Amino acid sequence: MRTEDVRQHLTTPLTSPAYAPLIPRFTDREYLNIVYRTDLDAVRAVVPEPLRVEEPLVRFEVMKMGDVSGYGPYTEAGQAIPVSFDGEQGEYLHAMYLDNFPATASGREVAAYPKVIGSPSLYVDSGAVVGTLDHGSLRVATATMGYKHHELDRREAEAQITVPTFMLKTVPGYDGMPRVQELVRTRITDLTVKGAWTGPARLQLFQHVLAPLADLPVLEVVSASHILTDLTLSGVEPVHDYLKGGASS
């Protein structure tokens, strides 16, 4: 294979890429969001500077992807932390677990999503929306919300989903030190909210050394939402370079 041909391949393995080279479109992406209050010192300990934590809040989310171009259906769960950066309000993606390897690989390699393999699920059971996350054979999280108890204003649902998202991108060099270490930002675009509801909710987190969601303990459930959407994820842009000690150009 000629050098110019090698340069056209952006994924590994070279001739059997782990994921499709495209910008995925999400159809019937269903969210269960539980916002809860946690320990301020615990949340500050996991959010990297220069992001700022103003309130000790965490959003636990379970997302069921009805159809995704390039990947097919899958389910994802994780934690996002409200933060600010240079006065802009957004969320820091702290942890993401999903049951689809191509989506895991592309999320980490192309962007900076903190994705690892897990076993999340989202379903309705006896009048409740139920979101769970397992790591191996062990339960890590269980979230429940009353099914469609109250309509949620779709503009509010859109505002919840479209806040800027910050992530930490680290690419190691062959000497074991970071070759790239940047704070990046992205957001959701082309959003259509197809349904949105709220209701009473509960969340349990269980201790697991390889899925430490419970390190951000649930002190109080603040709000909950169940939202059905179509959307696209935009690309990422670097906003801070840790190796250079300042903003990225």
Residues with a known catalytic role: 115
Place of tokens 């999400």: 26
The answer to whether the CB of 162 falls within 8 A of the CB of 188 is yes
For residue 29, give the H/E element and its range.
strand 25-37
Q: Which among 207, 226, 189, 208 has a CA at the least distance from the CA of 62? A: 226
Cα distance between residue 221 and residue 223, in whole Å? 6
Cα-based distances in Å from 91 to 57, 82, 148, 172: 10, 4, 26, 25
Degrees to nearest 5, angle at CA 94 with 171 and 66 = 100
- CA dihedral for 132, 61, 67, 165, sign (positive or negative): negative
